[in-house]
Chains A and B, each alone.
Chain A
Amino acid sequence: MLSDTEKELIVQIWDKMLPVAEEIGSEALLRMLTTFPKTKTYFAHLDISPRSEHLRCHGKKIVQALAEGARNISTLTTTLAPLSRFHAYQLRIHPTNFKLFNHCILVTLACHIGENFTPVAHAAIDKFLSAFSAVLAEKFR
């Protein structure tokens, strides 16, 4: 349940992250792969060393998808339908991993934004990421 203020905050934050999508996305991924080594099992086909081309490219895609979701919060299910099918039928990620990645996104945002990443902004983004992951996992069964 997102208030109008929260929706605005979410759009503002992701709009600021879009120009540095590669940096933010690859950092969030690297944090997840370092802090939760079991997540590496999903990336056997990529070079996931720090600052690798694969990590930067993959990270950029993720941030762009998040920014798109932020601009279409009321139609997340429709907007994310192709991604949702992809995660369900091809990637088949164990659902607990969404929370781990979401946490690393929050930490990355906190490192970049600093104290302006207020408790209210933190709450809004956490709620947004939960809703986003729920849609991505919708078709799992």
Chain B
Amino acid sequence: MVQWTAEERAAIQAVFAKLDYKSVGLESLTRLLVVYPWTRRYFGGFGNLFNSEAIMANPKVAAHGTVVLQGLEMALKNMDDIKNTYASLSELHSEKLQVDPGNFQLFGDCLTVVIATRMRTEFTPDIQAAWQKFLAVAVSALRKQYN
């Protein structure tokens, strides 16, 4: 089981408290689709994903960004049992959505960059370390049901 120090819990809560799910979700998903264009393969029904401006203005991307951040919130609320919390989400991503799990890491990286642009010097190396540990646990739980 993952062990969290009090400092790590506080750091992760602090990052979440500053997150505007709609705006951060939209921008993180936009960066994923722009920086790693192959990820667009999973969003065929989303309409115009042609360039950065189109993606940022796309209401389906915005809606989905919020959904993903709400999913991460589930992990935050169950930090001591993320694996089981994510069991059905993991199955969904592997069986139904058929997403290559390598892309989860990439989304996490994009989300981290967005947080860095907003929090700036407040996103210290120690806070980044705690935040990335949390993301690593979430990504690992999402990969669990793939076989």
A residues adjacent to B (C-beta < 8 A): 27, 30-31, 34-35, 50, 103, 106-108, 110-115, 117-120, 122-123, 126
Provide the bound-state CA to CA distance between A123 and B110, in Å.
10
Q: Is the interface of B mostly helix, strand, loop or mixed?
A: helix
B-side contacts of A114, CB under 8 Å: 117-118, 120
A-side contacts of B35, CB under 8 Å: 119, 122-123, 126
B123 within 8 A of A: yes
B129 within 8 A of A: yes
B-side contacts of A31, CB under 8 Å: 125, 128
B-side contacts of A126, CB under 8 Å: 35
Contact-residue bracket for chain B: 20 to 34
A-side contacts of B145, CB under 8 Å: none
B-side contacts of A120, CB under 8 Å: 34, 52
- Cβ-defined contact, A110 with B125, below 8 A: no
Can you list 22 residue pairs at the A/B interface with Cβ under 8 Å?
A: A31-B125, A34-B125, A103-B109, A103-B112, A107-B113, A107-B123, A108-B116, A110-B113, A110-B114, A110-B116, A110-B117, A111-B117, A111-B119, A112-B120, A115-B117, A117-B113, A117-B117, A119-B35, A119-B52, A119-B55, A122-B110, A122-B113
